[in-house]
Amino acid sequence: MQITDKVFVVTGGGNGMGREVVLGLLARGARVAAVDLNEVGLAETAQLANVADGRLTTHPLNVADRKAVLALPAAVTKAHGQVDGVLNIAGIIQPFVKINELDFDVIERVMNVNFWGVVNMSKAFLPTLLERPESSLLNVSSMGGFLPVPGQAAYGASKAAVKLFTEALFAESQGTPLAVTVVFPGGVATHITQNSGVDTSKMEAAMGSGKAPKTTSAPDAARQIIEGVEKGSFRVVIGSDAKFMDRFARLNPRRATLLIANQMKSLLG
């Protein structure tokens, strides 16, 4: 899909990868409706974008709020005249604790944002996208969606659900103008931990004076996401960590699981 003059809806547009995707799409000549729960973050994105011709609109809402999401297609169409693509990037993680120590309300919150948010947005916009001559639906899963990470079981389950949901949408969309893409980022340098309300003290203590793990920058991750839209890719795997573990987990899932478990041992205690 050519990006110029197309209209895209981007969730998580108030920070991190979502913000960088918004800025990257605008730089390529697109129009963007940025969605985020954080109204202040959206305002910062708009200030960074610095586009004065109406190519960017901001829409503060919770993607887990189905009623609000179902009203969004009409609002975006009114502002931009059409919708050519939806990029579901918004997501949160859980506290780094074992499932036995994780409250039900935290599990539900993670599932509501990460999985139901994607379902809500997809269901809301699919009728519009299927009417366009060409369109794109991109959903962000995670390396944790194909490889279990101790201390992130609910997060991983939500992202595994996004993976299968998106792959099923891909299969169902054959013979239509809609390209469906699933994205698997590894470690990306964003503020997802703080934005999720997760205490980082255990993580910092576990890392101690050790070398911080290598991560992909948010702008680089955003570039790869936008290229995935341009190419109509089935899947996009971001980062050397995700690419390595993607292969390893398929070749020997037990060993891959134990490798991650050993790496997380000091964090979980």
pLDDT digits (tens, 9 = 90+) for 16-73: 999 999 999 999 999 999 999 999 999 999 999 999 889 999 999 999 999 999 999 9
1: nearest Cα among 25, 21, 19: 25
pLDDT, average across residues 72-96: 97
Residue 210 has pLDDT above 60, yes or no: no
Q: What share of the chain is helix, strand, coil (3-state, %, to 5)?
A: 55, 15, 30
Single out the residue of 130, 124, 153 nearest to residue 65, CA to CA: 124
Task: Domain ranges for the chain, please list them.
Answer: 7-268
Amino acid at 132: R
What pLDDT shows up at residue 127?
A: 98
Distance CA 130, CA 164 (A): 20
Q: What is the mean pLDDT of residues 162-173?
A: 98
pLDDT value for 209: 43
Catalytic residues: 155
Q: How large is the angle between the packed helices 253-268 and 240-251, nearest 10 degrees?
A: 130
* pLDDT tens, position by position, 215-267: 899 999 999 999 999 999 999 999 999 999 999 999 999 999 999 999 888 77
Percent of the chain residues topping a pLDDT of 70: 91
7-268 CATH: 3.40.50.720
User: Which pLDDT does position 205 carry in this prediction?
Assistant: 47
Report the half-sphere exposure of 121 (CA within 13 A, side-chain side).
36
The DSSP bridge partners found for residue 11 are 35
Residue with tokens 């003290």: 201
pTM: 0.89
